[in-house]
Amino acid sequence: MAHLLMVESWVGSMSRLLPRAIREGGHEFTFLTRDLHHYLRSAPEGVAHPLLGARHVITADTNDVEALLPEVERLHAVLGFDGVLTSCDYYLPTVARIAGRLGLPGPGPEAVGNACRKDATRRVLADAGLPGPRFALHEEWADLARAAREIGYPLVVKPVDLCAGMYVRRVDDEAQLAEAVKSLADFPVNARGQLRDPAVLLEELLDGPEVSVETVSHAGTVHVVGVTDKSVGGAPAFVETGHMFPAALTPADTEAAERTARAALEALALTDGVVAHTEIKLTSAGPRVVEVNPRPAGNRITELVRHVTGVDLAAAFVDVALGRAPGLRRTDTGLRSAAIGFLVPDRPGTLGALDAAPVAEQEGVLEVLFAEPGRAVRAAGSNNEYLGHVMAGDPDGLGARDRVEALLSSIRAELVIR
């Protein structure tokens, strides 16, 4: 039995998948957080809260890394940790610092820091010779406006240090650029109370479909588990509206996406102790990296992978955090594809009742989850405003997405937002 230190976590699906993987692996964990109420606010109804499975729950200021490191050293001397991990983007660099300080498995702090900063990722990949979009990084409006003209509209505006697609916007002219930059400046602190970097990243708008490559890195080798496709809506935002695994691609496009993801992870030195989710655009000029996330995929992509291949990426995450070879053997699950579609609001209001039972009873449905009626709704501007999802599988081929889309169409027809 191993003892893991878990530093913060998502309040979404991984906050349940990760404790489950730790428990099923025969291990235990201590949970470290600066704000326990952040998790208690989202306590699931009808099931035990995942934090009840923790050996200890300890409060410390996880946003003050320099003060946290000696405190974690003292905890380690008493409790003895065998690994450290987090499923929250904002604490991945902190975990890398802790692992380095305690001599625990994991990628280096510089590698993780570069992956978690969108501008740093761009520079590292460019220095390694990986083709990417034209980009510029500035804080001042005059510099941004000039750089935008040099790159050329349309382009994409991005924060360098947010996740879930927050404040990522397409802009077609200088007026839209000014609006996007102002909106970002009005959000100076992230959801975990961390002061944001005010720099704004401008990127050339890439054409073509977007996919993600799910990988597990151990002992210097990047193992590709598969490629997931992505549908996007919510323009001018980039809201993920659904995914299917495996992606419906030609063998050549699949190989190109996998090769590009491996090259990106190697350039960033993320070849040990990492489960990664690398987003790639298959452009007319070839594959281009959108971003590299040094943690398991969100939006229940890990569950799509498990339903089709039997590979549990949450369990692999635990394995590599402990310095152990991950279990990546595929099994015949009876499914050839699995897809998820999200109910994305396009207007504000209050959610009416949604009946999940008729959908859950349909052939091939794996999961159905809807928000509770009475919930305040706002038009989606990121991946944080979903009203629910439907997941379905196909035992015969790549028909899972079509099944999900048909089910979502019937739900949208009955959706009431007052």
pLDDT in tens, 176-224: 999 999 999 999 999 999 999 999 999 999 999 999 999 999 999 999 9
Instruction: Select from 157, 166, 115, 139 the least CA-distant residue to 292.
Output: 115
pLDDT of residue 46: 64
DSSP per-residue string spanning 345-371? --S-EEB-----HHHHTSTTEEEEEEP
Burial 362-373 (b: 16+ CB within 10 A, else e): eebbbbbbbeee
pLDDT above 80 for 417: no
pLDDT of residue 178: 98
First to last CA, the chain: 52
Quick one: which of 147, 319, 311 has its CA closest to 218?
A: 319
Percent of the chain with pLDDT over 90: 84
What is the per-residue pLDDT for 229? Answer: 97
Residue 16 has pLDDT above 90, yes or no: no
pLDDT averaged over every residue in the chain: 95
- What are the structural domains of the chain? 3-104 (3.40.50.20), 134-204 (3.30.1490.20), 207-333 (3.30.470.20), 337-418 (3.90.1170.50)
Given this model, what pLDDT does residue 49 score? Answer: 85
Taking the CB of residue 141, how many other CB atoms lie within 10 A of it? 14
- pLDDT confidence of 58, banded at 50, 70, 90? very high
336-367 per-position pLDDT tens digit: 999 999 999 988 988 888 777 788 889 999 99
Token look-up 């946290």 returns 68
Contacts with 413 (C-beta within 8 Å, 6 or more apart), sequence order: none
371-378 average pLDDT score: 88
Q: Which of 79-88, 153-162, 373-382 has the lowest mean pLDDT?
A: 373-382
pLDDT tops 90 at residue 11: no
The identity of residue 217, as a single letter, is S
Distance CA 333, CA 304 (A): 11
What is the pLDDT confidence band of residue 170, given thresholds at 50, 70 and 90? very high
Q: Which residue has the tokens 């510099």?
A: 143
DSSP codes joined into one string, 152-190: -SSEEEEESS--TTTT-EEE-SHHHHHHHHHHHHT--B-
User: Which residue has 């794996």 as its token pair?
Assistant: 366
Q: Please, which residues have CB within 8 angstroms of residue 313's CB and are 6 or more apart in sequence?
A: 214, 216, 225, 275, 296, 297, 302, 305, 306
Pairing of strands 349-350, 376-377: antiparallel
Q: What is the pLDDT of residues 277-322, one digit of tens each?
A: 999 999 999 999 999 999 999 999 999 999 999 999 999 999 999 9
**pLDDT surpassing 90 at residue 13:** no
Residue type, 415: L
Mean pLDDT of 55-78: 98
Distance, CA of 82 to CA of 26 (rounded, Å): 13
According to the model, what pLDDT value does residue 168 have? 97
Using the predicted structure, report yes or no on whether residue 45 has a pLDDT greater than 70. no
DSSP 206: P
pLDDT value, residue 43: 64
Section 55-77 average pLDDT:
98
Question: Does position 101 have pLDDT exceeding 90, yes or no?
Answer: yes
Does pLDDT of 371 surpass 80? yes
Q: Which pLDDT tens digit goes with each residue over 378-415?
A: 999 999 999 999 999 999 999 999 999 999 988 875 67
Under 8 Å CB-to-CB from 96, ≥6 apart: which residues? 106, 107, 108, 109, 111, 112, 113
Question: What pLDDT digit, counting tens, does each position of 102-158 carry?
Answer: 999 999 999 999 999 999 999 999 999 999 999 999 999 999 999 999 999 999 999
The pLDDT, as a whole number, for residue 375 is 87
pTM to 2 decimals? 0.96
